[in-house]
Amino acid sequence: MTTTLETEVLIIGGGVTGAGVMRDLALRGIHCVLIDKVDLCAGASGGNHGLLHSGARYVSTDVDAAIECRQENERLKRLAPQCIEATGGLFVGVEGDDVGFAENFPGLCRRAAISCDELTVAEARRLEPQLSDRLVKAYRVPDATVDPFHLALANVDHARLTNGSIYRSHTELLRFDIADSEVRAAVCRDSRTHAPLVIRARQFVNAGGAWAMNIARLAGCRDVDLLYAKGTLLVNHDRMTRHVVNRLRPPGDGDILVPGGTVSLLGTTSTRVENLDQIAPTIEEVDRIVREGAAMIPALAGARYTRAFSRVRPLLQGAGNTSDRAASRGFALMDHASQGLANFCTVTGGKLTTFRLMAEKAADLVAARLGKQQPGTTATVPLPIGDAGRWTEPGAAPRHWYKLNNPADMILCECEMVPQSAVNQIVATAPGEAAPAMSPPGRPKGEFRSAQHAGCLMSLEAISLRSRIGKGPCQGSFCGIRVASYLYDTGYYSDAAGLAYMRDFFDERFKGQRGVIWGAQAAQMELAEALHCGLLGLDALEAD
């Protein structure tokens, strides 16, 4: 039997933009459903540096993007401080870097009204002792870091609380029903169970990121023209710096190091790709990133890396651009009127830093088309601090656990120190996965009703996305087993589903480690293999 959902606006794509559109519309009193084929931030939103640009990065290539970044950076720091660490950023030049670029840099920043203070080499190295002794130039800018998972979860949750808008993960769009120049419904299915679902709406928003061109074509629109640029990033085991550190040169490979909690992210590369599937880091990319990063921070050459991942950036095809780095990082909003549709729009391109602005513009169009006059309020209404995304912050779980000082509240993820109580709360209340089977708030922690349908259970990957589980050096090899065992103990998992979740989770984590198997991480991998294949025999688990 096909389930049918009714809403005012269907948003396709659960990246930060889609989540932002959902919240923006909800705050205007418009009910939405947000769907994603996988889960929140499965694309570029969850696969970037987590850098809240000051704009300085773009002053030489795209002054408009730089100004947008500066404005949104300031807004988000004010409105969503819980998702942001105001680390500050440095731009550093080393011997051999373009002196002319370095000299022009402060002027270019001034043009975009971005604050930029020159530091002496000694001052910079005092701030960041890991910086190279071949440093020749350093500037300080208001870069910061932002947690896209926290951001997306908090946006979605605020929308739910505001007017009951709904987020559904694992909901795959198959086709649109179109009649009389209007999209009437989206025909979908559950990507795990293949259960069909039809979503009827008055307006449809394509926030598919790199997939936006494919989604637009399902609606018969040929005017979304994207380039795909693959970017690869490395996760370092250890936080190397307090500040974001950028190479003082035109954007290139391996020239940004972003601290995030206890780790650092180093990248990126930019390689043109033709399709969106089978995107994986190459050894050559990993080597290049390490080599370039080590020019700024020599310790990166010998550091332990726990993960390498690649995502595809959607770049707008612009006239006259000769390189992908120079292609506009601005965004596009297309109303598709020229394609004969009156209630479908696409918002794509852009960057994490400007997601709110993109969402606002898209919501303006949708609201106008619905005849709603009230303006958006996301530029002034703070993002509420709640439980939705609290466990994605490194250190949040252990501080909570340490403060409670309850020996019965066992740590399940030892790397990031996530206790049972945090897993209970994620499973019971975190947005995204079907919640009806969970204990309502107020019921004793650890008490779950056995879920009725396997499709309703929160998988280990979903729990990981909503917490720090699996993000530490063991990359899930222990906590995957422990969290699953715990959920079996509580009765939340009951059949072979938990085993399959384990296998899928380890597979996903393993993919990220393939590019960095050397040194301590190689020992870690061998241990994981012994556990997962030798002890649990998950490699022999029947395919479902």
Partner 1 sequence: MAQTAIPTLNFKQAALTLLPPGANFDACLTCGLCSSGCPASGLENMDPRKFIRMAMLGMDEELSTTPWIWCCTLCKRCEYVCPMKIDVSKLVFLARGNWPNDRKPAGIARSCHLTQLGASTSAMGMPPGDFVMIVDDVLEEVRATQPGFAHLQAPMDKHGAHFFVNQNSREPMSEPDEMVPLWKILDLVGADWTYSSKGWAAENFCMFTGDESAWRNVIQQRVDAVNDLGCQVWLNTECGHSYYSMWEGVTRFGLDAHFRMDSLITYYAQWIREGKLPINARWNTQGIKFTVQDPCMIVRKSYGDSIAEDMRFVVRTLVGEDNFVDMQPNRSANYCCGGGGGFLQAGMTDQRRAYGKRKFDQIAATGAAYVLTPCHNCHSQIDDIGHHYGGHYGVVHFWTLMCLSLGILGENERHYLGPDLRALIE
Site residues for partner 1 per CB under 8 A: 237-238, 261-262, 302-304, 394-395, 398-399, 402, 405-407, 411, 414-417, 472-474, 478, 520, 523-524, 527
Q: Which is nearer to partner 1, 97 or 147 (CB)?
A: 147
What is d(CA 541, CA 544) in angstroms, rounded to the nearest whole number? 9
Tokens at 482, concatenated:
């422990």
Beta bridge partners of 183: 178
Give min distance, CB of 515 to partner 1, in A: 18
Tokens at 319, concatenated:
């006239």
The three-state DSSP-derived secondary structure of 105-145 is HHHHHHHCCCCCEEECHHHHHHHCCCCCCCEEEEEEECCEE
- For the residues of 285-321, what is the DSSP string, one character each? HHHHHHHHHHHH-GGGGT--EEEEEEEEEEEE--TT-
- What lies within 8 Å, CB to CB, of 287 at 6+ separation is none
Nearest to 58 by CA among 68, 47, 45: 68
Nearest to 15 by CA among 459, 361, 354: 354
Q: Which is nearer to partner 1, 479 or 497 (CB)?
A: 479
Q: Which is nearer to partner 1, 43 or 50 (CB)?
A: 50
Give min distance, CB of 295 to partner 1, in A: 21
Q: Which is nearer to partner 1, 399 or 453 (CB)?
A: 399
Would you say 31 and 163 are in contact if contact means Cβ atoms under 8 Å apart? yes
- What lies within 8 Å, CB to CB, of 543 at 6+ separation is none
Q: Which is nearer to partner 1, 107 or 395 (CB)?
A: 395
CA dihedral 62, 149, 190, 205 (to 10 degrees): -40
**Counting beta carbons within 10 angstroms of the beta carbon of residue 278, is it exposed (0 to 12), middle (13 to 18) or buried (19 or more)?**
exposed
**Preceding amide of 377 cis, omega within 30:** no
Beta bridge partners of 263: 260
What is d(CA 64, CA 303) in angstroms, rounded to the nearest whole number? 37
What is d(CA 111, CA 113) in angstroms, rounded to the nearest whole number? 6
Q: Which is nearer to partner 1, 204 or 401 (CB)?
A: 401
Give min distance, CB of 147 to partner 1, in A: 15
The single residue listed with the structure tokens 């269907």 is 10
Would you say 286 and 514 are in contact if contact means Cβ atoms under 8 Å apart? no
Q: Which is nearer to partner 1, 171 or 264 (CB)?
A: 264
Q: Which is nearer to partner 1, 194 or 403 (CB)?
A: 403
Q: Which is nearer to partner 1, 332 or 417 (CB)?
A: 417
Q: What are the two backbone dihedrals, phi and then psi, of residue 348, each rounded to the nearest 5 degrees? A: -155, 180
What is d(CA 89, CA 71) in angstroms, rounded to the nearest whole number? 16
Q: Which is nearer to partner 1, 198 or 299 (CB)?
A: 299
Q: Which is nearer to partner 1, 377 or 402 (CB)?
A: 402
**Helices and strands (H, E) in the chain, number of each type:** 14, 24
**Residue 382: CB atoms within 10 Å:** 12
